[in-house]
Amino acid sequence: MLRAEDNRFLTESGAGTPMGELLRRFWLPVLLSKELPEPDGAPKKIVVMGEELLAFRDSRGVVGVIDQYCPHRGANLWLGRNEECGIRCVYHGWKFDTDGRCVDMPTSYPDLNARDLIRIKSYPVREWGDMVWAYMGPAGAVPELPDLEMALVPPSHRYVTKKWQDCNWVQALEGSIDTAHFTFAHLSFDKEENEILEIKKHFVNPLARMNTDQMRWIAEDPRPVIKTVAHDAGLVIAGGRLTGSDNIYWRIAQYLMPVHSYAPSSMPGENIFGQSFIPVTDTNCWIYTYAWNPERPLTSAEREGYTNGNGVMAVVDENYVPLRNKSNDYLIDRKLQKTRSYTGIQGVSEQDAAVQDSQGPIADRSREHLGPTDLGIMHFRKLIMDTARALLAGTPPSHLTHQDRYAVRSGGCVTHKAKDLAAVMVERFGDATGYVGRRRTAAAE
């Protein structure tokens, strides 16, 4: 459990808050690239950590992220005309480029050069892995982009989307690195093989190729032993389950500072899933979700499956709001809940959202009673809060100098129970932290 003041420290992300200042030191995804499909197209309103911003793609195809409001009289620049490398305010014609510079001020006398004195807030922008990333921290401390493997592979090898969620970003992220909840939140409560196979007809399973043994191990052992390993980009969080033999079934997740996590499910050769959790305000967030395969292009069937809610993806509308959401009680089916699953909710992503949203807009961690399977959650909180406190004292996050170490993988494996986690990681990934590196990503070469 956390003290109330520590919970606020962990969850508040506005400008000037310790956690908000930490998040602003890193590159964060703020849009999908496809949301700005063409030069001089319609701009997009975005809110990131409480800041109202405007994103647009200019005539050159360059994306800018600037203040939403014109500094002249406060009109919203979303109403503006995207033309000739800038957004022109429709109120008095002031025009701003992707760097926030005023490039035209028709209401001023030309000889005064007043436009040279006007500049609005703008943030550095990069497009990386089919997402638009912004850096919102101090101007003199812009880091390198993180070497997320999904961005290193060719576009044909990845699928990227996003979904809205009605809760604080931290509890959504904590759900993603909790390897113990799968037994109840996502599987059938009937552990017989025929029931496990039957559930596949009713629910999209993130482990689409998972065999019945793996599903049985998850169902029969709800108390995985949790092990963690710290590394230069974050944490390995692994859960080991009994198999009824001399082997352990390991599900190995990755947490990457400060907002990324990788699902623990994929076996060798299967697609890998990841998520990035971006605060909109302190009570809602965007979750960028992606799948990639380092060895081969994704198939059309896989892409169709992700559109229909496979993996960590949700089925969303044209605004990326899940069709099953808080406003309609996730379309919970009480009959199905009695006969097939603990939740009665279709879709693994939607099952996660339901329980995370149910904790409240901001979970009250002062009321928690944590246990052994929450070890990974404890380590995550300690890492990110200690890093925020260090930044508050003047020490920047060390992770910013190790962006190459973000090229890690997550996944599952079965190994002999005598092996420690380091040996398991080396056997599964070739490295004790799951690091694969840019040169070892075959699809990127």
**Vertex 226: Cα angle to 223 and 230 (nearest 5):** 165
44: left (phi over 0), alpha (psi -120 to 50) or beta: beta
Q: Which residues touch 374 (CB under 8 Å, ≥6 apart)? A: 178, 180, 226
Flag whether pLDDT at 197 surpasses 60.
Answer: no
Joined together, the tokens standing for residue 393 give 């004292």
Model confidence at 192, in pLDDT bands (50, 70, 90)? very low
Taking residues 8-18, report their average pLDDT: 98
Flag whether pLDDT at 336 surpasses 50.
Answer: yes
Model confidence at 184, in pLDDT bands (50, 70, 90)? confident
CA distances from 297 to 170, 260, 412, 437, 443 (A): 32, 23, 21, 19, 9
More confident residue, 196 or 290: 290
Torsion 72-73-74-76 (CA) sign: negative
How far is 146 from 255, CA to CA, in rounded Å? Answer: 13
May I ask the CATH class of domain 149-444? Answer: alpha beta
Flag whether pLDDT at 316 surpasses 70.
Answer: yes
Residue type for 192, please?
A: E
| pLDDT at residue 121 in the model | 97
Whether the Cβ atoms of residue 202 and residue 336 lie closer than 8 Å to each other = yes
Model confidence at 189, in pLDDT bands (50, 70, 90)? low
Cβ atoms < 10 Å from Cβ of 234: 27
Model confidence at 194, in pLDDT bands (50, 70, 90)? very low
How far is 8 from 10, CA to CA, in rounded Å? Answer: 5
Flag whether pLDDT at 193 surpasses 50.
Answer: no
Collapsing DSSP to helix, strand or coil, 248 comes out as: strand
Tens of pLDDT, residue by residue over 387-398, are: 999 999 999 999
Taking residues 21-43, report their average pLDDT: 98
How far is 342 from 325, CA to CA, in rounded Å? Answer: 18
Whether the Cβ atoms of residue 222 and residue 180 lie closer than 8 Å to each other = yes
How far is 34 from 36, CA to CA, in rounded Å? Answer: 5
How far is 186 from 180, CA to CA, in rounded Å? Answer: 11
| pLDDT at residue 209 in the model | 46
| pLDDT at residue 308 in the model | 94
How far is 352 from 38, CA to CA, in rounded Å? Answer: 34
Whether the Cβ atoms of residue 69 and residue 87 lie closer than 8 Å to each other = no
Taking residues 319-333, report their average pLDDT: 96
Flag whether pLDDT at 445 surpasses 50.
Answer: no
Tens of pLDDT, residue by residue over 201-259, are: 333 444 444 567 888 888 888 899 999 999 999 999 999 999 989 999 999 999 999 99
SS3 for 264-319, per residue? CCCCCCCCEEEEEEEEEECCEEEEEEEEECCCCCCCHHHHHHHHCCCCCCCCECCC
Could you give the percent of the chain with pLDDT greater than 90? Answer: 82
Model confidence at 440, in pLDDT bands (50, 70, 90)? low
**CA R_g for the chain:** 23
Taking residues 324-353, report their average pLDDT: 92
Tens of pLDDT, residue by residue over 395-410, are: 999 999 999 999 999 9
How far is 140 from 6, CA to CA, in rounded Å? Answer: 30
E-strand stretches of 60-176: 63-67, 81-83, 86-88, 95-96, 102-104, 122-123, 125-128, 131-135, 158-165
The architecture (CATH level 2) of 27-140 comes to 3-layer Sandwich (2.102)
Which pairs count as long-range contacts for 12-18, CB under 8 Å and 24+ apart, including other chains? 12/282, 13/49, 13/50, 13/169, 13/279, 13/282, 14/49, 14/50, 14/282, 15/49, 15/50, 15/51, 18/388, 18/389, 18/391, 18/392
Joined together, the tokens standing for residue 205 give 């399973």
Cis geometry, peptide bond prior to residue 146 (ω within 30 degrees of 0): no
| pLDDT at residue 441 in the model | 53
Residue type for 326, please?
A: K
The overall average pLDDT reported for the chain is: 92
How far is 148 from 410, CA to CA, in rounded Å? Answer: 12
How far is 264 from 200, CA to CA, in rounded Å? Answer: 19
According to CATH, where is 2.102.10.10 located in the chain?
Answer: 27-140
Tens of pLDDT, residue by residue over 119-156, are: 999 999 999 999 999 999 999 999 999 999 999 999 99
Q: Which residues touch 331 (CB under 8 Å, ≥6 apart)? A: 323, 324, 345, 346
Q: What is the widest separation between alpha-carbon atoms in the chain? A: 84
Distance of CA 424 to the CA centre of its chain: 26
More confident residue, 112 or 260: 260
Tens of pLDDT, residue by residue over 50-72, are: 999 999 999 999 999 999 999 99
Whether the Cβ atoms of residue 307 and residue 289 lie closer than 8 Å to each other = no
How far is 153 from 437, CA to CA, in rounded Å? Answer: 12
According to CATH, where is 3.90.380 located in the chain?
Answer: 149-444
pTM for the model: 0.93
